Amino acid sequence: MKNSVLVVTPFHERYVKALESLELDINFVGCSDNNDCPEDLSTFEVGVAWKIDPSLLNRWESLKWIQMVSAGADEMLDTLSERKDVVITSVRGIHANPIATYVMMMMPMVSMGIPKMMNNQNSSTWKQWSWNDLEGKILCQVGLGAIGKEIAKRARQSGMIVKGVKNSISEDEDYEYIDEVFSSDNMESAIKDCDYCVLALPLTEKTRNLFSQKVFSCMEKKPFFINVGRGELVNDNDLIESIDNEFLSGAVLDVFHEEPLPSDSSLWSHDKIIVTPHISGLTRDYMRKVCNVFAENWNLWDQGNELQRKVDRSSGY
Protein backbone atom coordinates (compact mmCIF):
# COMPACT_ATOMS: atom_id res chain seq x y z
CA MET A 1 0.00 0.00 0.00
CA LYS A 2 1.34 3.41 -0.98
CA ASN A 3 2.12 6.08 1.59
CA SER A 4 -0.20 9.09 1.44
CA VAL A 5 0.87 12.73 1.57
CA LEU A 6 -1.52 15.66 1.77
CA VAL A 7 -0.59 18.68 -0.38
CA VAL A 8 -2.20 21.89 0.93
CA THR A 9 -1.68 24.96 -1.26
CA PRO A 10 -3.84 27.09 -3.59
CA PHE A 11 -1.76 25.55 -6.41
CA HIS A 12 -2.17 21.95 -5.24
CA GLU A 13 -3.01 20.55 -8.67
CA ARG A 14 0.30 21.76 -10.11
CA TYR A 15 2.23 20.63 -7.03
CA VAL A 16 0.66 17.17 -7.08
CA LYS A 17 1.53 16.77 -10.76
CA ALA A 18 5.12 17.88 -10.13
CA LEU A 19 5.49 15.62 -7.08
CA GLU A 20 4.04 12.63 -8.92
CA SER A 21 6.67 13.07 -11.63
CA LEU A 22 9.32 12.18 -9.03
CA GLU A 23 7.99 8.59 -8.87
CA LEU A 24 8.32 8.24 -5.11
CA ASP A 25 5.63 5.56 -4.72
CA ILE A 26 3.45 8.03 -2.80
CA ASN A 27 -0.23 8.79 -3.14
CA PHE A 28 -0.39 12.60 -3.26
CA VAL A 29 -3.75 14.17 -2.45
CA GLY A 30 -4.23 17.90 -2.99
CA CYS A 31 -6.52 20.51 -1.47
CA SER A 32 -6.61 24.28 -0.91
CA ASP A 33 -7.80 24.43 2.69
CA ASN A 34 -10.02 22.70 5.23
CA ASN A 35 -13.10 23.06 3.04
CA ASP A 36 -11.91 20.77 0.27
CA CYS A 37 -9.52 18.46 2.13
CA PRO A 38 -10.50 14.80 2.67
CA GLU A 39 -12.84 14.09 5.55
CA ASP A 40 -10.65 11.26 6.85
CA LEU A 41 -7.07 12.43 7.44
CA SER A 42 -5.94 9.46 9.55
CA THR A 43 -3.69 8.06 6.80
CA PHE A 44 -1.80 11.32 6.25
CA GLU A 45 1.24 11.56 8.53
CA VAL A 46 3.08 13.88 6.14
CA GLY A 47 2.01 17.11 4.49
CA VAL A 48 3.40 19.54 1.93
CA ALA A 49 1.96 22.98 2.58
CA TRP A 50 2.18 26.73 2.19
CA LYS A 51 -0.13 27.45 5.12
CA ILE A 52 -2.38 25.29 7.27
CA ASP A 53 -5.83 26.43 8.24
CA PRO A 54 -6.22 26.04 12.05
CA SER A 55 -9.54 24.28 11.47
CA LEU A 56 -7.72 21.76 9.27
CA LEU A 57 -4.99 21.29 11.85
CA ASN A 58 -7.58 20.61 14.56
CA ARG A 59 -8.71 17.46 12.78
CA TRP A 60 -5.33 16.47 11.36
CA GLU A 61 -4.27 14.50 14.44
CA SER A 62 -2.08 12.09 12.48
CA LEU A 63 0.30 14.82 11.22
CA LYS A 64 3.95 14.15 12.11
CA TRP A 65 5.94 16.14 9.52
CA ILE A 66 5.12 19.17 7.41
CA GLN A 67 7.32 20.17 4.46
CA MET A 68 6.78 23.86 3.79
CA VAL A 69 6.93 25.23 0.24
CA SER A 70 8.47 28.47 1.50
CA ALA A 71 11.50 29.53 3.52
CA GLY A 72 9.89 31.87 6.07
CA ALA A 73 8.48 29.81 8.95
CA ASP A 74 6.83 32.49 11.12
CA GLU A 75 3.20 31.72 10.18
CA MET A 76 3.66 27.96 10.27
CA LEU A 77 5.30 28.19 13.69
CA ASP A 78 2.34 30.20 14.98
CA THR A 79 -0.11 27.66 13.58
CA LEU A 80 1.79 24.69 15.02
CA SER A 81 2.76 26.33 18.31
CA GLU A 82 0.77 23.77 20.32
CA ARG A 83 1.88 20.81 18.20
CA LYS A 84 5.44 20.40 19.37
CA ASP A 85 5.46 16.82 18.09
CA VAL A 86 5.24 17.92 14.44
CA VAL A 87 8.54 18.28 12.59
CA ILE A 88 8.66 21.35 10.33
CA THR A 89 11.03 21.62 7.38
CA SER A 90 11.37 24.58 5.04
CA VAL A 91 12.97 25.12 1.64
CA ARG A 92 15.50 27.65 2.88
CA GLY A 93 18.45 27.98 0.57
CA ILE A 94 16.64 27.51 -2.74
CA HIS A 95 16.03 31.27 -2.99
CA ALA A 96 19.66 32.33 -2.62
CA ASN A 97 20.65 32.61 -6.28
CA PRO A 98 17.51 34.31 -7.65
CA ILE A 99 17.20 36.77 -4.77
CA ALA A 100 20.88 37.67 -5.06
CA THR A 101 20.30 38.26 -8.78
CA TYR A 102 17.37 40.52 -7.92
CA VAL A 103 19.42 42.55 -5.42
CA MET A 104 22.41 42.88 -7.74
CA MET A 105 20.05 44.10 -10.47
CA MET A 106 18.33 46.62 -8.23
CA MET A 107 21.42 48.31 -6.77
CA PRO A 108 22.75 49.74 -10.06
CA MET A 109 19.18 50.27 -11.26
CA VAL A 110 18.37 52.72 -8.46
CA SER A 111 21.80 54.36 -8.73
CA MET A 112 21.28 54.96 -12.46
CA GLY A 113 17.79 56.30 -11.88
CA ILE A 114 16.17 53.79 -14.24
CA PRO A 115 12.58 54.61 -13.10
CA LYS A 116 13.19 58.27 -13.98
CA MET A 117 14.65 57.21 -17.35
CA MET A 118 11.52 55.18 -18.08
CA ASN A 119 9.34 58.19 -17.30
CA ASN A 120 11.54 60.28 -19.60
CA GLN A 121 11.16 57.68 -22.34
CA ASN A 122 7.37 57.86 -22.03
CA SER A 123 7.55 61.63 -22.60
CA SER A 124 10.29 61.38 -25.26
CA THR A 125 12.64 63.38 -23.02
CA TRP A 126 16.41 63.11 -23.55
CA LYS A 127 18.23 63.93 -20.32
CA GLN A 128 21.57 62.64 -19.08
CA TRP A 129 23.04 62.40 -15.60
CA SER A 130 25.96 60.64 -13.94
CA TRP A 131 25.59 57.67 -11.62
CA ASN A 132 27.66 55.71 -9.11
CA ASP A 133 29.19 52.35 -10.02
CA LEU A 134 29.07 49.62 -7.35
CA GLU A 135 32.85 49.33 -7.14
CA GLY A 136 34.13 50.74 -3.87
CA LYS A 137 30.65 51.28 -2.46
CA ILE A 138 29.74 49.87 0.94
CA LEU A 139 26.99 47.28 1.27
CA CYS A 140 25.56 46.51 4.68
CA GLN A 141 24.03 43.06 4.36
CA VAL A 142 21.65 42.50 7.28
CA GLY A 143 21.10 38.77 7.59
CA LEU A 144 23.77 36.23 6.69
CA GLY A 145 21.83 33.10 5.91
CA ALA A 146 22.12 31.44 2.51
CA ILE A 147 20.53 34.44 0.79
CA GLY A 148 22.61 37.06 2.59
CA LYS A 149 25.86 35.21 1.94
CA GLU A 150 25.12 34.85 -1.77
CA ILE A 151 24.35 38.57 -2.00
CA ALA A 152 27.61 39.31 -0.15
CA LYS A 153 29.56 37.05 -2.51
CA ARG A 154 28.23 38.75 -5.63
CA ALA A 155 28.67 42.20 -4.14
CA ARG A 156 32.33 41.49 -3.38
CA GLN A 157 32.80 40.17 -6.91
CA SER A 158 31.47 43.53 -8.12
CA GLY A 159 34.11 45.35 -6.11
CA MET A 160 31.93 46.37 -3.19
CA ILE A 161 33.00 46.51 0.45
CA VAL A 162 30.68 44.24 2.41
CA LYS A 163 29.68 44.61 6.04
CA GLY A 164 27.49 41.85 7.42
CA VAL A 165 25.08 41.81 10.35
CA LYS A 166 24.18 38.51 12.01
CA ASN A 167 22.17 37.62 15.09
CA SER A 168 24.97 35.47 16.50
CA ILE A 169 28.54 35.31 15.21
CA SER A 170 30.26 31.93 15.17
CA GLU A 171 34.01 31.48 14.83
CA ASP A 172 33.37 28.26 12.91
CA GLU A 173 31.18 29.92 10.27
CA ASP A 174 32.51 30.93 6.86
CA TYR A 175 32.40 34.68 6.19
CA GLU A 176 34.67 34.53 3.14
CA TYR A 177 33.09 37.37 1.17
CA ILE A 178 32.38 39.68 4.10
CA ASP A 179 34.92 42.32 5.06
CA GLU A 180 33.54 42.89 8.56
CA VAL A 181 30.90 41.07 10.57
CA PHE A 182 28.78 42.77 13.24
CA SER A 183 26.38 41.28 15.76
CA SER A 184 22.78 42.47 15.57
CA ASP A 185 23.32 44.32 18.85
CA ASN A 186 25.93 46.44 17.09
CA MET A 187 23.97 46.94 13.87
CA GLU A 188 23.94 50.73 14.08
CA SER A 189 27.73 50.76 13.70
CA ALA A 190 27.47 48.57 10.61
CA ILE A 191 24.87 50.68 8.81
CA LYS A 192 26.37 54.05 9.73
CA ASP A 193 28.41 54.56 6.55
CA CYS A 194 26.79 52.19 4.06
CA ASP A 195 25.75 53.15 0.52
CA TYR A 196 23.28 50.26 0.26
CA CYS A 197 21.47 48.41 3.02
CA VAL A 198 19.92 45.05 2.15
CA LEU A 199 17.58 43.30 4.56
CA ALA A 200 17.33 39.48 4.30
CA LEU A 201 16.23 38.40 7.77
CA PRO A 202 13.58 35.94 8.94
CA LEU A 203 10.66 37.33 10.91
CA THR A 204 10.88 36.63 14.65
CA GLU A 205 9.74 38.53 17.71
CA LYS A 206 13.23 40.02 17.92
CA THR A 207 13.28 41.23 14.30
CA ARG A 208 9.71 42.51 14.00
CA ASN A 209 9.79 46.28 13.24
CA LEU A 210 13.57 46.14 13.63
CA PHE A 211 14.00 48.86 11.03
CA SER A 212 12.36 51.98 12.41
CA GLN A 213 13.20 55.66 12.68
CA LYS A 214 15.87 54.90 15.29
CA VAL A 215 17.81 52.74 12.83
CA PHE A 216 17.20 54.81 9.70
CA SER A 217 18.39 57.98 11.43
CA CYS A 218 21.82 56.36 12.00
CA MET A 219 22.47 56.19 8.27
CA GLU A 220 24.81 59.06 7.45
CA LYS A 221 25.29 58.53 3.69
CA LYS A 222 21.64 58.41 2.57
CA PRO A 223 21.84 54.81 1.38
CA PHE A 224 19.38 52.93 -0.80
CA PHE A 225 17.37 50.41 1.22
CA ILE A 226 16.31 47.02 -0.17
CA ASN A 227 14.04 44.57 1.68
CA VAL A 228 13.83 40.97 0.48
CA GLY A 229 13.19 39.50 3.95
CA ARG A 230 9.75 40.09 5.44
CA GLY A 231 7.53 43.18 5.35
CA GLU A 232 7.02 43.13 9.11
CA LEU A 233 10.73 43.75 9.64
CA VAL A 234 10.17 47.40 8.69
CA ASN A 235 7.99 50.17 10.05
CA ASP A 236 6.53 51.52 6.80
CA ASN A 237 5.63 54.94 8.15
CA ASP A 238 9.15 55.41 9.48
CA LEU A 239 10.57 54.24 6.15
CA ILE A 240 8.59 56.81 4.19
CA GLU A 241 9.42 59.54 6.68
CA SER A 242 13.13 58.65 6.50
CA ILE A 243 13.07 58.94 2.70
CA ASP A 244 11.20 62.24 2.84
CA ASN A 245 13.67 63.56 5.44
CA GLU A 246 16.61 62.36 3.31
CA PHE A 247 18.01 59.78 5.70
CA LEU A 248 17.53 57.37 2.76
CA SER A 249 17.90 57.97 -0.98
CA GLY A 250 15.10 55.52 -1.74
CA ALA A 251 13.87 51.98 -1.25
CA VAL A 252 13.18 48.79 -3.16
CA LEU A 253 10.56 46.62 -1.49
CA ASP A 254 9.64 43.07 -2.46
CA VAL A 255 7.88 42.13 0.79
CA PHE A 256 5.09 43.84 2.74
CA HIS A 257 3.05 43.73 5.93
CA GLU A 258 -0.01 42.80 3.90
CA GLU A 259 0.16 40.91 0.63
CA PRO A 260 -1.14 41.68 -1.92
CA LEU A 261 -0.22 45.26 -1.06
CA PRO A 262 -3.50 47.22 -0.71
CA SER A 263 -4.20 49.59 -3.59
CA ASP A 264 -4.48 52.55 -1.22
CA SER A 265 -1.02 52.02 0.29
CA SER A 266 1.15 55.13 0.05
CA LEU A 267 4.09 52.89 -0.92
CA TRP A 268 2.67 52.55 -4.43
CA SER A 269 2.79 56.22 -5.27
CA HIS A 270 6.05 57.32 -3.64
CA ASP A 271 8.45 58.43 -6.36
CA LYS A 272 11.51 57.10 -4.49
CA ILE A 273 10.13 53.65 -3.73
CA ILE A 274 10.10 50.70 -6.13
CA VAL A 275 7.45 48.10 -5.34
CA THR A 276 7.72 44.55 -6.68
CA PRO A 277 5.08 41.88 -5.88
CA HIS A 278 7.17 39.42 -3.81
CA ILE A 279 8.82 37.92 -6.88
CA SER A 280 12.54 38.09 -6.06
CA GLY A 281 12.69 34.32 -5.46
CA LEU A 282 9.77 33.26 -7.66
CA THR A 283 11.61 31.75 -10.60
CA ARG A 284 9.90 29.53 -13.15
CA ASP A 285 11.64 26.45 -11.75
CA TYR A 286 10.65 27.25 -8.15
CA MET A 287 8.15 24.40 -7.90
CA ARG A 288 10.70 21.91 -9.19
CA LYS A 289 13.18 23.04 -6.53
CA VAL A 290 10.56 22.65 -3.79
CA CYS A 291 9.69 19.15 -4.99
CA ASN A 292 13.35 18.16 -5.05
CA VAL A 293 13.73 19.30 -1.43
CA PHE A 294 10.71 17.20 -0.48
CA ALA A 295 12.10 14.18 -2.32
CA GLU A 296 15.44 14.42 -0.50
CA ASN A 297 13.68 14.69 2.84
CA TRP A 298 11.23 11.93 2.01
CA ASN A 299 14.06 9.49 1.43
CA LEU A 300 15.52 10.46 4.81
CA TRP A 301 12.11 10.17 6.48
CA ASP A 302 11.44 6.78 4.91
CA GLN A 303 14.78 5.50 6.27
CA GLY A 304 14.23 6.97 9.73
CA ASN A 305 17.04 9.52 9.36
CA GLU A 306 17.29 13.18 10.41
CA LEU A 307 15.56 15.57 8.00
CA GLN A 308 17.32 18.47 6.28
CA ARG A 309 16.32 22.15 6.57
CA LYS A 310 14.50 21.59 9.87
CA VAL A 311 12.97 24.69 11.43
CA ASP A 312 14.31 25.47 14.90
CA ARG A 313 11.29 26.42 17.00
CA SER A 314 13.45 28.33 19.49
CA SER A 315 15.10 30.60 16.92
CA GLY A 316 12.09 30.88 14.63
CA TYR A 317 13.85 29.76 11.46
Per-residue pLDDT at 171: 84
pTM, rounded to two decimals? 0.95
43-57, 101-115, 143-157, 164-178: the lowest-pLDDT one: 164-178
pLDDT range class, residue 172, cuts 50, 70, 90: confident
Among residues 21, 16, 18, the alpha carbon closest in space to that of 5 is found at 16
pLDDT at 1 > cutoff 80: no
15 Cβ neighbours under 8 A, 6+ residues apart: 7, 9, 28, 30, 48, 69, 287, 290, 291
Average pLDDT over residues 75-85: 96
Per-residue pLDDT at 170: 86
pLDDT at 2 > cutoff 90: no
Q: Identify the structural domains of the chain with CATH numbers, from first to last.
A: 3-93+284-302 (3.40.50.720), 96-275 (3.40.50.720)
Average pLDDT over residues 78-104: 97
* Residues 181-237 pLDDT 10s: 999 999 999 999 999 999 999 999 999 999 999 999 999 999 999 999 999 999 999
Mean pLDDT of the chain: 96
Per-residue pLDDT at 103: 98
Average pLDDT over residues 140-159: 98
List the beta bridge partners of residue 47: 6, 66
